[in-house]
Structures are given as structure tokens and as C-alpha cells.
Amino acid sequence: MRKGTRAIGLILALALTAVGFAGCKDTKKDVGNGSGGGTQKTEGQDGLEGSSEDAFSDNYGGKGRFLETELTLPKETDRVLAAGKLSDGSISVVGYNVNSMQYYIMNTKDLGDSWDSKEVQGMELFYVSRAAIAPDGGAVLMDPYGEELVQVTPEGAATAGSLALPGAEGEKKNQIQQAGYTEDGTLIVLDIKGVLYRADAKQGTVEEITKNMSEEAYYFGIAGNDIVTVMGSGVYRIDAGTGEIKKDETLRQVTDSSQEPLGGENSYPYLFTAGAEADSTIYVNHEGLFFHQMGGSVNEQLINGALVSLGDSSLSFQQALTIDESTYLVLGSDSLGVPRLYRYIYDSQASAVPEKQLKVYALEDSVTLQQAISYFQKQNPDVFVKKTIGLTDNDGITAEDALRTLSTDIMAGNGPDVLILDGIPVESYIEKGILADMKDLVEEVEEEDGLFENIKEAYIRDGSIYEMPSRFGFSVVEGEAEAVGAKNSLEAFLEYAKGKKSSDPDTHVLTPMSASGLLHELYYADSAGWRKEDGSLDAEKLEAYLKAAKEYFDLDTYSQEEYNDQVENYTFRLGGMGGAASTVANFRLILMGYAGIGTISSVRDVQQIYATEAQIGGAYEIFGEADNSSFVPYVSVGIAAQSAENQQARAFVKGLLGKECQTASSDGFPVNRAAYQEHLKNQKEYAIGTSRLDGTAAGVDVKVLTEEQANTLLKQLESLKRPILTDRVIQELVIEEGIKCLGGDGTPKEAADRIMQKVKLYLSE
């Protein structure tokens, strides 16, 4: 590898370390200490304290950085199964078109600027789950079991075959998890038991490579004629011809058993491929792209994921290719399953560290926020977005602690440029002049793409807009007709549930939720009306909420085992917005309850609900009074008053609310109307299978929404009037005391009194 390129990886890493760049936890790669032990991690500060405005000065100088270009794949491609670098240096991919049900071999000789596509001819259609590109430009396509397989010539001609995989234990068939070709043209396959094989596609035979290893392989990459595979105890580089393990402790410690394969098809948390230098390995994860020389004691970061799309945690990795020491390709798919191919080329004239900085703050991280950051940095490679997260998994601080630190930084002039306002006391920030009016910016997006007008109207205060959600969901009652008819209030729904229980004491009326899950879902459904005009909480409404939650929770007696597998909070989990209402429908499918209250947050949720209701009956309706229904905002954004004229801040907010960025995320309904239409166009049909409590099989076929169903959904989205109460401190107080109440610690009134006292103290600070 060219020394200049390698050196800039060290310069970049050291510069980023010096200013504390990070995602959630200021995690950096220590690429230069030479101390062994592979990848080292250093913890930095989570707040804004310690950030340095002059960190981008020439003192951290240096030129040279890998710049990203997203390549346009051929229009025939809805799905990419494999990519490979050929012996002549060109690149080929195997693609599939959903509408024509046609497979393609696509080749580029100019690193993705243009493509030559050939249809695969003579292939009887079957479901292809795995594919691999051979060095001569041919390919192999196979079903999960290896029972159907075709070899494809570089010209696209197919020849049928099969592989004789060893059987799996019990009645379960063995399956092919992954396939790839080595540099000398040997086909490698990995089966469901974690065994690696050399395969002969012409003869249909396989020969085990890892028979002398006691561990199973999770997934692998090809590095020349070696296999780089992730196992339970780490990463190993194995000679594909002899099975010899090339021991390297630094490489082994790159990852561990926590990095098992992801749930998506052909998706992996790490990618491995050969480096340009002999006996070197390139690996990719969301922290970036790294170089390791076999026998060396360090891993060098060549590309920092925070500066490019690799840092987008919603991007699923598929394959990485080394073109030469200054050019790399990474294949993946976004959160909607759309294939993405990125090219990274070293530019010796680009600043090693972006010269400008944009500071973005959020209480909690999210996939949607990271997508927006990645999108912005692609459009603005000279700007680094410093993301600061107030709450992380293991720092032990509360929302109130985090907000107090944020306020201190803002008052000291060290605050962020852009705030993600989820959980932040927005009314207080507006009163204190912390947030800038961005109505003109919102209206620019509305003029270009259209916005849900009702959502925008909910945030107009005295002619100004200080906050705008990028996405949203809404609460519904889902279940049998009688339950849906009781949708107007918690009290009405409770009367339905009690009546149902009275008529059949042995039945489980409501779908199972933990105490926390139930309190959260009812909070999303009911809290929009808790605020009085003076900003205080309505004690009577709070008590009514707790009383309803207590009676709901006590109504049904599920066993502990039936609760064990339930998610504590259905709506917000794993950095994204989920759909509790579709979960309610799925519980009804397996005979657990007649109805429930939960959120809907995507077109996919609605598809699932309609599919289940087509099978077992039922319906859903917006919870609450029709003329005053509420919504759950998600990734709401504001601009700090001190950054009102900051063009980077304005561009970031406009990008977050714009069509392209809004289309890319599947968390919540996009506030952007053009993006919403794209979500409707991108609907997929699929099947869901499960088992009922009585042991019988259950399943539904999820279809694209009919025109009538799509129109109904649109009317529902347009009818939403007001946001729920989003102050995170108040929410935490309510849930904390609510859990005690549901557990028998005091009455709902006593819990409400405790909450009111704590909220009064919080609001007075």
C-alpha cells in the first residue's frame, strides 16, 4: 500500500482522537501505539464539554483523505446478491429484477461509472438466496439447500446443477449460508452448521475445510486464496487449499462472538477482503475501513466511518472489494432494502480532517439521525458533523442530568448548532430564546416536496416554527369490533375490557404487555392532553391514566413465562421507532388477547395489520376523540438561536426534512409528502409464519395496500392534530412511579401526587 495513504490513516485517527469525534461514546481506533492486542478503544466525554472549536485548524493539518462516491447501479437491479473483482481488474455483480424476475450479470470496467448488463439465459426460475462471482466473470447462483444451482458463464449462459451437502441434525435440512470464490477460482461455501467447504459446482461435491476446528464459522470473506472467517473466539485467516490456520492474535481480536451474523439476507456486521499488499487484510464495519498486515500488532484506520456512509448504522454490509491501495468498493443495502454501492478513492489534496464543524445534539441516538448525518456529509465533504448523545447505555446518568449539562453548555456559548428535540423541554427552550425560528426553512421544503400540513400546523407558535418532527406515528385501538368501538378514551376502552372479562372470566382480553410496555403505550395514546395552559400538568388526567393502566394490568393474569419474551417498550427500541399495534395484531394471531392499544409507525405496520385482520377478523381505529387526535413525533429538529445564520445548520435541517433523506428511513411516517409517496411505492409482499399457543400453525400473507386502504391511511394521517407530551424527564417520572403503582406500591392517586410534586420541582428549576 502506498506509504502516503497509510500515513494519512494515522494522521486522521490521531486528529479525530484529539477532538473527541465519536458516535455515542467517542470510540476511536488507536492505530499507532504498536502495543499489540489489536483494536484498542478509548472512552471520551459524552457531553459537549471538551469539544474544541479550533480543532479543525491547520495545526491538525495534512492533506489526503478517502472521498466517497455512491455509484448508480443498473436500472435492472432491485437486489444485488454478490460482487467480485475479476482477473482483468474489472468488477462484476449478480443482480435481480423483481418485476421481470430476471437475473443479470453486470460488469463495469471504469469502477462503476458505466455498466454492461447481460441477462442470465437458460435458467429455470427458482429462489436464489446465495451467489458468488468467479474471477473469470462467471458466477454461481444457488437456492438455500444447494439442491438447485446454476453455473453462469461470463456471457450469461446457465447450466443447471446441485451440491451434495452433508445432512443437518434431525429433520432440518442443511442450508448454504454464504458462498464466495477465491482468487484461483475455488468455490467456498458455508453451511448452516458453521462448516466451511471447498465446492465443485460441476461435480456437485463438497470437501470440508474446517474439520480440524471445534468452533463453527459465523460468516467469512475472501482474501486472495485465504478465507477470513469470524468464529466464536474471534477472526481467523485460513488457507482455502490446505485448511491451515494463519495465526494472528491482532486479527483474531478484531471481533468476537458478539458479532454474529445479522438477521437480514447476506448481511454481516464486518466485511473482510484482501489488502493490496501481500498477506494483508482489509476489514469494514460501521467505524470505518481498516488495514491489517498479517503478523502486525495494530489495525490502521484508513477511512473513518463518521465521515462517510459507513457510519450509518442502518446500512447493512454485504461485500467489500480492494481495487488497489487507494481505491475500495463497499456493497450494502439501506433500511428499505435498496442496494447501495460506494466507491472510496484517496484524494491527496483533500483535507485530512474536514475544515468545518457542525455540532448536533440528541438525548438519544437513532438510525434516522445517523442517516441524516451520512446524507449531509455526502453532500458536504468539507464539513464534519460532531454528533453528541446525552444518554448512552452505560453512563448511568439520567435525562435530567443530561439536560442540565446541555443547558450549562448552551449558556456558556458552547452549545450545539442543531438540536434533536425528542425529550427536550421545548417550551422552556423557546421561552429562554434558545431556539431559532425556522419557518422559512420549513416552508422551503414544503414548497419543494410538500409536507403533512396538519403536522406543520401543530408547531406554529405566534407565526413562528421552532421545532419540526421529521417523522411521526399515531396510537390506535386494534382488535375485535367491540373494542374498536370503544376507542374514544382510556375509560371507554377499560369499560369494554371489563365487560368482556365479566362475561368470560377465563379469557385473556388484552394482549400481554409488561408494566413498562403498557405504561409507555398508554402514555403515547393519552399524554397529549395533560398540559394546562400555564405549562403545569393536569393532576386529574394523570390520575385517570394511572387508574386505567392499573386496572388494565390487573385485568388479565398472564404467566411469567408469557411475559418473558415481550419487549418492554414496543414503540421505541434499538434506536428506531417500531409499531406496537402490529404487535398487538400478531398476538391476536397466536390467540393471546382480543384487543390492545398501540402505535402505528409505518406503511409496513399497516400492511401487517390488514393482513392479520384478513385472516382472523378485526379492525383498527385512531385512539381518542376524532376531532382532537394526537400523534407521536420522532426525531424532531430545531436550530440553536446562536446558529440561526449558520448555513450548514440550515442545510442539515433541510436535508433531514427533505425527500431523499426522508425516503431512506423506515422509522415512522415521513412528514415529507413526496417521501411518503415513495414509501407507498416501495411496499413489499411477504409471508409471516408462526405457531399458536395450542400448537397449530398460523401465518399470513402480507399484501400491498389496496387503493381503498391507502386512502384510509392517508385520511388518518391528515386527521392528526396535536403532539404527545415529549418532555423526557416528565415521561421518566411518570413511568417510574407508574411501575411502582402497577406493582402494588400505593394507589393511582398517591402515585399521581408523587409525580406532581416531582414535576413541580423539575419545572421550577
Q: What per-residue confidence (pLDDT) applies to 530? A: 96
Supply φ then ψ for residue 532, to 5 degrees.
-85, 170
Q: What per-residue confidence (pLDDT) applies to 58? A: 37
Class of the CATH domain delimited by 376-470+635-677: alpha beta
CA-to-CA distance for 755 and 748, rounded, in angstroms? Answer: 10
* Residue whose C-alpha cell is 448511568: 396
DSSP string, 46-81: SSSTT--GGGGSGGG--EEEEEEEEE---TT-SEEE
Q: What per-residue confidence (pLDDT) applies to 261? A: 58
Beta carbons of 150 and 120 less than 8 angstroms apart: yes
**If we measure between CA atoms, which residue out of 275, 296, 261, 354 comes closest to residue 62?**
354
**How far is CA 584 from its chain centroid?**
22
Eight-class DSSP state of 20:
T
CA-to-CA distance for 718 and 533, rounded, in angstroms? Answer: 25
* Residue whose C-alpha cell is 490513516: 9
Kindly report the CATH number that applies to the domain delimited by 472-632+685-764.
Answer: 3.40.190.10
Eight-class DSSP state of 361:
E
N-terminal to C-terminal alpha carbon distance within the chain: 58
CA-to-CA distance for 28 and 353, rounded, in angstroms? Answer: 15
Give me Rg for the CA atoms of the chain.
Answer: 27
Residue 662: CA atoms inside 13 Å, Cβ hemisphere, count? 31
**If we measure between CA atoms, which residue out of 549, 536, 527 comes closest to residue 758?**
536
Beta carbons of 138 and 127 less than 8 angstroms apart: no
DSSP string, 491-558: HHHHHHHHHHHHH-TTS--BPP--HHHHHHHHHHHHGGG-B-TTS-B-HHHHHHHHHHHHHHHHH---
Q: Which residues lie below 8 Å from residue 279, measured CB to CB, with a gap of 6+?
A: 293, 294, 295
Is the torsion defined by CA of 134, 181, 318, 283 positive or negative? Answer: negative
Q: Which residues of the chain have pLDDT under 70?
A: 1-61, 168-172, 256-265, 335-336, 393-395, 557-570, 572-575
Given this chain, do its domains 376-470+635-677 and 472-632+685-764 carry the same CATH topology? yes
Residue 64 falls in which region: left (phi positive, over 0), alpha (psi -120 to 50) or beta = left
**How far is CA 594 from its chain centroid?**
31
Q: What per-residue confidence (pLDDT) applies to 199? A: 95
CA-to-CA distance for 735 and 572, rounded, in angstroms? Answer: 14
Q: What per-residue confidence (pLDDT) applies to 10? A: 41
Beta carbons of 508 and 559 less than 8 angstroms apart: no
Q: Residue 318, class by beta-carbon neighbours within 10 Å (0-12 exposed, 13-18 middle, 19+ buried)?
A: buried
* Cβ atoms within 10 Å, residue 685: 11
Kindly report the CATH number that applies to the domain delimited by 69-208.
Answer: 2.130.10.10
Q: Which uninterrupted H or E stretch holds 116?
A: strand 116-119
Q: Where are the domains of the chain?
A: 1-65+263-343, 69-208, 376-470+635-677, 472-632+685-764
**If we measure between CA atoms, which residue out of 8, 69, 71, 65 comes closest to residue 346?**
65
**If we measure between CA atoms, which residue out of 226, 307, 218 comes closest to residue 268?**
218
Q: Which residues lie below 8 Å from residue 505, measured CB to CB, with a gap of 6+?
A: none
Give all strands of the β-sheet with 205-208 in edge-to-edge order: 176-181, 187-191, 196-200, 205-208
Residue 435 falls in which region: left (phi positive, over 0), alpha (psi -120 to 50) or beta = beta
Q: What per-residue confidence (pLDDT) applies to 675? A: 97
Beta carbons of 314 and 263 less than 8 angstroms apart: no
Q: What per-residue confidence (pLDDT) applies to 389? A: 87
Per the structure block, which three cell numbers stand in for 708? 381503498
**If we measure between CA atoms, which residue out of 45, 53, 51 comes closest to residue 26?**
45
Q: What per-residue confidence (pLDDT) applies to 417? A: 97
* Residue whose C-alpha cell is 446500512: 315
* Residue whose C-alpha cell is 465533504: 381
Q: What per-residue confidence (pLDDT) applies to 8? A: 43
Eight-class DSSP state of 709:
H
Cα–Cα distances in Å, from 659 out to 421, 493, 637, 656, 679? 21, 38, 16, 8, 11
Q: Residue 236, class by beta-carbon neighbours within 10 Å (0-12 exposed, 13-18 middle, 19+ buried)?
A: buried
**If we measure between CA atoms, which residue out of 573, 548, 534 comes closest to residue 759?**
534
